[in-house]
Each structure stands twice: as C-alpha cells, then as structure tokens.
Structure 1
Amino acid sequence: MKLLVLTADANTLVYHRGDLIRDFAAHGCEVVTAAAEDYPHVREFVGKLGGRHRAIRMARSKINPLKDLVTLCDMWRLFRSEKPDALFAYTIKSVVYGCVIARLAGIRRVYALLPGLGFTFVKPVTWKQKIVSFISEALHRFALKRADVIFMQNHDDVTLFTGMNMLPQGVPVHVTAGSGVNIEEFGHAPLENDADIAAGRIRFVLVSRLLISKGVRVFAEAARRIKQLQPHAEFHLVGPFDPNPNRVDESEVRQWVAEGTLTHYGMVRDVAPLLKTMHVFVLPTWYREGVPHATLEALATGRPVITTNSVGARECVKLTAEGETQRENGEMLMQGENGFLCQPQNIAAVECAMEWYLANPAQIAAQGQGSRQLAADVFDVRLVNEIIIRAMRLQKAVRGEFAVHSSLALPHSSF
C-alpha cells in the first residue's frame, strides 16, 4: 500500500509525526511525504524508512486565492504522479484542499486529522474575521465530507464541530490524545534530591513558537513580577520567532533578556536534554490547541505543568477534587495532581502558581511523578498511534512491538 502523508509544515513530519510514519512503514506501507519545505533532515528520515519526500508550494496561514490556486495545482500533479492508495492529511490547508483534490485525483482512501483549530474557529469580531471564518467553515464542511475517517485530538473540538454540524454523517470520528509523546525517547528525569530546588533556584521554562496567544507575554510579565521578590528564581524561554501576525516582536524579547527577566534560547532542535535541566514547565496559552506537543514532552520528562483551562491545554493537568471545585466556581487558579490550570490571559494566576512552587519546593518532585504517570497512562505515542492504525485497518507487516522502538531515533523538537 502506498500512503501519501501531506502537511503544510515539513518539520512536523519528523518531530510530531515521526513515530506515526515509522509505524506506517512497519505496517507495510510505502510512505511518500509532502510538505511546503524540502529540508534535508526530513528527506533523510523518510528515506531511511524506504520512502520519499516531495515539496509542494503551500503557505501555512492566510487565504490567498492566487497562491492557493498554485497549491491546488501542485497537489493535483503530486497525486496524479504518485498515484497513492491512500492520503493521510493533517494541518488545515492539507485537509481542506487535500481531501477534495485527492477525490478528484482518484485516491481511494482519504484520512483527515485536525491537530488543532488555532484561530480558525474562534468567535470572529471584525468583518474581515467573519468573512475568513465563513470561508473556513465552508471549506472544512465540504472537505470533511470527502474523508473516509476523521481524527481529532480532543473532545472539545468534537463537541464544537458536532454543534456546528461540521462532521458528516456516516464518517467515523476518532479522538486521539494529541499526537502522543515517545516516553522512551523523552525519558523520565526525576527531581528528587535536586540541589537547586533545595536552594530555591527553581527553573521555569516555556517552550513554544513565540506567539502572543501561546502566552509568551503572560509568562514574561509573571516572571518580571516574581524576579523582583525572588531573584534566585530563573525563567527560560525556548522557541523561534514566527512570521505569524500574532507574533511576539524580537525587540520585546531582547528587552526581557536585557533587564534580566529571562533567558532566551531561540530554536532548539533537541529539546529533551534542556527540558531535563528545568523544574517546572509553563505554557499560558489561549490558542485553540489540539494538545500542545511541548507540554506532552514536559509530562514525559516528569515536569509539573502550569497551563490554562483552555481547549487542548487543559488535558495536560489532572485536577484534584479541590481543583474541580475551583474550576466549577470560576476561580483563576485550579489545583492539579501534577500542576495548575490558570484562567487564560491571567498574569496574576500564572504568578500565583509559580509562587506556590517557590513556597513549596518539596512538592515539585512529587508532582513531576504525577506528570510522568499521566504521560504513560494517556499520552504514550503507542496508544495514540494504535488508535490511528486500527481505524485505518492497516495490517502489521512485522512481529513485535510498534515501530516506535526502532533503532532509528528521532531528533526532539516542539515546533
């Protein structure tokens, strides 16, 4: 079976879907990948699995009729030349355009995965946003009718699409726990007996593209406030600048670094070793996530998590009974077994959660254990991939465990 995996972002083929692609190959698929970039490391990774990578012209964001027409033509040529038996498409444009063109090109099986809805289905305010929202809804509704199976990454998105009548009748919908995390490659690094924690030098880290909606400014402002009273606390920002209109400007980050608020690392290809030097992971996002991959990596390494009570993000903290009550009462901070949920865009809530760890350093290791357990029980990539493999009815080509245990190791990145 020849399977074409289509996405807008080539890096995700390795860093987010590498384990899944390895499982596709282990189940006898000839894998061809396609994305908007032709990176050497992607070609190398896919090539080692016996597949090929091809580049097509596709912008990740914004609707531009002329550029999107080029994308449609490239997809048509790609599908007609490769003649795959099935298409596995993820990211918005790959799904809304790919599903339709695949049917026109005669591809027999079409699988659509919606990893996160971002701003696409946020309630529009301006007329421009309303127009874009209308077009996006129409494209999704039309495209998903061409899919044989739909995968979504959290139940909130399923509820939203069901309420909007976006899910076609008769098409199976499967919910995966995000894209999963390889709990062996992101091994547990216990925090018991950590000398820096005992000395009060708690290190907080945010790993993300530098977008306002990912909570980068919230993180920086909470860090600034805490630094004034707790100068030994450390704050680390990991992630690349982004061309998105929602981006954080480079000048802002330079200012935070210059004033001593935080340390910025930029793009880090292998983020696992860096995560293991940190103590508490923070992602104050209000972006409509699938399930944030960086947070999954933090769970796997055994880091307590401070994130928000927003779509996708809330999946990563298991609330205590008290925390559930706090959420029901609409409080700004909700206690979890492995961290805290905060009200979105609430700097004071993030600050309070950070202060709790500074005042209760002995709890960091125990909550880190809770994060690791959550990763193993819910987000293990083997569990996630098994849902997809079974829904696609692929037959395993080799005996043994899933190919996630292959000697072909993946580099680590959350972007």
Structure 2
Amino acid sequence: MVKILILANNDVGLYKFRKELIKELVKENEVHISLPNGDFIPKLKELGCKFIDTPISRRGTNPITDLKLLINYRRIIKNIKPDLVLTYTIKPNVYGGLACRMSDVPCIANITGLGTAVENGGILQKVTLFLYKVSLKKAKCVFFQNKENEEFIIKKKIINGNHRIIPGSGVNLDYYSLLDYPSDETINFLFIARVMKEKGIDQYLEAADYIKAKYPNTVFHILGFCEGAYEDKLKEMQAKDIIKYHGMQSDVRGFHKISSCTIHPTYYPEGMSNVLLESAASGRPVITTDRAGCREIVDDEINGYVVEPKNSQDLIEKIEKFLELDHESKKQMGLAGRKKVEKEFDRNLVVNAYVEEAEKALR
C-alpha cells in the first residue's frame, strides 16, 4: 500500500478544507498526518488518518525552533518511509520540503498565501524566498491558489519545475448549500475573520459606526477570535449597539442564513479567501478588497463589490450602494455568486488536481 504523509500547521484548516481530499486518499493509501494536536484530530483519525503530534511555532522566527522542526520532519520521514509527501502553509512547505529533498522523497507543496514575511519585503523576505528556493527545487508539483502568487514566485526564479493554479481550497457545495435570501426588514452584515488589523477590522468598524447611525435597520456582526488590541474597542462598540460580537464560531452557516452580505475588507496576503467562497456558495453578496485571493471571487457589481484596501470611505460608499439596491437585486447578486463558485471553485476541482499530480509523482 502506498504511504502518503501530510504536513500541516493546524488541525482546523486540515479538516475543514482538506477532508474531501483525505477521504479520497485513504481509499487506497495509508495516510499519515503530521501537525500539532488539536480538537479536530479525533475527526481526522475517524477519516482513517494516522496522527503524529508535531509542534509548530506558526508565526515564530526563532531559527533554533525551526531547526528542530526540520530535524523532526526528517525523523518522521525516516520512520514512516512515505512514498509521497503533501505540504501546506509556509513552515511545512519550507522545512517539510527540505526534509523531503534531503531524504529523496517526492513532495507536492501548496502555497496557501505568501504571508507577511514576503509581503513586507526586507531581509525577512529575502530569507523566506531563499528557503523556498532551496526547499521547493525538487518538488514534483507546486500548487498556487492565485495568479499573483504564481507570477511573483516565477519572476523571482524560486521554482522552475511543474506548477499549476488551483481554485484555493475550493468549497464544498453540499455543506455550504444555497440558502433562501432574507427579507430587507433588517440588513445583517457579516465580518468573519480573526479580529486583527490586517483583516481590515478598522475599516469595518469605521464603516459600521457611520452606516449604523444613518441606516438604523442595519446590524454589523463580527465572528472570529479577537486579538487583545481590539477587545476594549469591540466591548465599547457593542455597548453602543453599533456591532454584535459573537466570538469564534465553529459553524457559521446559521449566520449566513440571516445575513444579507459578507464584508471582507482584508489586506492580509491571502491564498484564496475561504470566507468569500463559503459566503458566495451560500448565495450571499460579498464586499471585499482588490487583493489577490479576494478579487478572483468577485465580479464587481455582479455578485458583490470590490473596494480599495485600507480605504474606509470607499467601503462605506460600496455598502451604501448595496443598501440602495432593491430586495430582488440583492438576491440576484447572491445567486450570481453561487453560480460563479459552482463553475470555478467546486472543491472537487482541487481533489481531482491532487489525485492527478499524486499519480504522476508516484509513477
């Protein structure tokens, strides 16, 4: 039986966005997963995976910690002797890719976004790109989630082998089914993301403050883990009835039911926004920024609106434009989003791409 090893940095993302692929892989292969322990590990085991607890400092830059991760990956590969390794996110891509190259094991990497280290330039960008170049040199395939990331990596001559674009993680169109569009009696907006600066929370809060005062029938919801810097701000705005903060939610579909529109004003370097894919799949219009990983999901004025990153005024104007639409136009905008994801972002497209590249790599 073929052994496949998956290297990832967290259990939530692996289960939510890769479970359909894992279900396909475990049919005829022995699948091992290496990542930190978490609440979704039992669910991944139920799928048929063999779990290896592997600590990862996701955002840390300590070279000693990263060296330990590389050594850990080498030991895991030596023990399991996989026929193929799949890697996701920066550290598994870099240190997993290095371990595979050192162990002469075929590897397929997925660039799920270039991250702030590359985005911000400087010495950290140079180091990260160098590590990518060394680690991905022998990769059997490198998947990109958007054209901009692919062009950047090619331009920098980081890879020269097989590569292709996939539609992000895709979206499960059965799990995120088309929902009835709500009435206009109350207009509910959703912000679904980690509450942090780069996700555009400042712009969302500024827009909420202005719009709520002008349009009393609007409600601005926030779903996601809140970073310490924003705790007091959210409490203050909730007390004034400007926003409703719901904390981290494991299942957002109930919120999509009442939602009129999802607002995702991020300027974080996304691969492909799952928030937008899931919202559009549910038949909800979306307002998001003109950024790679976001703009691909929105046909401006067809299934939503595109705004300039970090521009609160532009966001306010697009929200007002949306509010001025009649109910049927809002509903049609949501239906256009559903059609778009059915055509371009079905998760089965991603699963098929992986199966195809895995078969090539194992020949």
TM-score (norm 2): 0.95
Secondary structure of 2:195's aligned partner? coil
1:371 to 327, 337, 342: 337
Report what 1:257 is aligned to.
Answer: 238
- Structure 2 partner of 1:157: 149
Matched, 1:122 2:119: yes
Displacement of 1:149:
0.8
> Match for residue 37 of structure 2?
38
Alpha-carbon contact 1:216-1:248 (below 8 Å) kept: no
Separation of aligned partners in 2, 1:305 and 1:24: 33
Distance 2:286 2:127 in 1: 36
Distance 2:348 2:291 in 1: 25
Say whether residues 1:82 and 2:48 are aligned partners: no
| Count, aligned residues | 359
Q: Please, what is the CA RMSD of the aligned residues?
A: 1.6
Given that residues 102 and 110 in structure 1 are in contact (C-alpha distance below 8 angstroms), is that contact kept between their aligned partners in structure 2? yes
Q: Deviations over 1:276-318 (max 9, x none)?
A: 2211011011111111111110011010000011111101101
Letter aligned with residue 148 of structure 1: K
Counterpart AA for 1:97: Y
2:222 counterpart of 1:232: no
1:379-413 deviation digits (Å, cap 9, x = unpaired): 11011221221122279xxxxxxxxxxxxxxxxxx
Q: Is the contact made by 1:212 and 1:248 (CA closer than 8 Å) also made in structure 2?
A: no
Select the residue among 50, 53, 56 that pairs with 2:51.
Answer: 53
Which residue type is aligned with residue 61 of structure 1?
R
Partner AA of 1:186 in structure 2? Y
Which residue number in structure 2 is paired with residue 338 of structure 1?
Answer: 303
Relative contact order, CA 8 A, sep 6+: which one is greater? 1
Secondary structure of the 1:15 match is: helix
Partner of 2:352: 386
Pick the aligned partner of 2:108 from 88, 111, 114: 111
Task: Give the SS at the match of 1:100.
Answer: helix
Work out the CA distance in 2 between the residues paired with 1:227 and 1:351: 11
Partner residue, 2:324: 359
Aligned-partner Cα distance in 1 for 2:156–2:71: 30
Q: Distance in 2 between matches of 1:73 and 1:391?
A: 27
1:277 correspondence with 2:258: yes
Residue 148 of structure 1 is matched in structure 2 by 140
The answer on whether the counterparts of 1:114 and 1:153 sit within 8 Å (CA) in structure 2 is yes
**Structure 1, unaligned stretches of length 5 or more?**
125-129, 320-335, 396-415
C-alpha displacement of 1:248: 4.7
* Whole-Å separation in 1 of the counterparts to 2:254 and 2:78: 43
Q: Quick one: distance in 1 between partners of 2:151 and 2:204?
A: 30
**TM-score normalised by structure 1 residue count:** 0.83
Alignment-derived partner of residue 405 in structure 1: none
Q: Provide the rounded CA distance (Å) in 2 between the counterparts of 1:309 and 1:117.
A: 17
Runs of 4+ in 1 over 6 A off after TM superposition: none
1-structure distance, mates of 2:238, 2:18: 33
CA contact (8 A) 2:11 2:40 kept: no
Could you list the per-position Cα deviations for residues 175-229 of structure 1 after superposition, in whole angstroms to 9, with x for gaps in the alignment? 00110000001110031xx33x1x2x11000101112111111111101011111
CA contact (8 A) 1:190 1:368 kept: no
Corresponding residue number in structure 2 for 1:268: 249
Change (3 A) 1:394 1:160: closer
One-letter identity of the residue aligned with 1:370: A
For each residue in 1:109-133, what CA deviation from the matched residue of structure 2 results, as whole angstroms up to 9, or x when unmatched? 1111101112132243xxxxx1211
User: Residue 165 of structure 1: CA displacement?
Assistant: 1.2
Retained in 2: the 8 A contact 1:202–1:232?
A: yes
| 2:119 match: secondary structure | coil
Select 1:91's aligned residue among 86, 89, 92: 89
Seen in structure 2, the aligned counterparts of structure 1 residues 248 and 147 have a Cα distance that, compared at 3 Å, is farther
Verify: 1:305 aligned to 2:302, yes or no: no
Partner of 1:186: 176
Say which of 296, 309, 312 aligns to 1:347.
312
Instruction: Check conservation: 2:33, 2:50, Cα contact below 8 A.
Output: yes
* Runs (5+) with no aligned partner, structure 2: none
Identity of aligned residues (%): 27
C-alpha distance in structure 1 between counterparts of 2:86 and 2:144, whole Å: 13
Give yes or no for the alignment of 1:176 onto 2:176. no
State the partner residue of 1:328: none
Amino acid at match of 1:77: R
State the Cα distance separating 1:80 from its structure 2 match.
1.4
The answer as to whether partners of 1:223 and 1:235 remain within 8 angstroms in 2 is yes
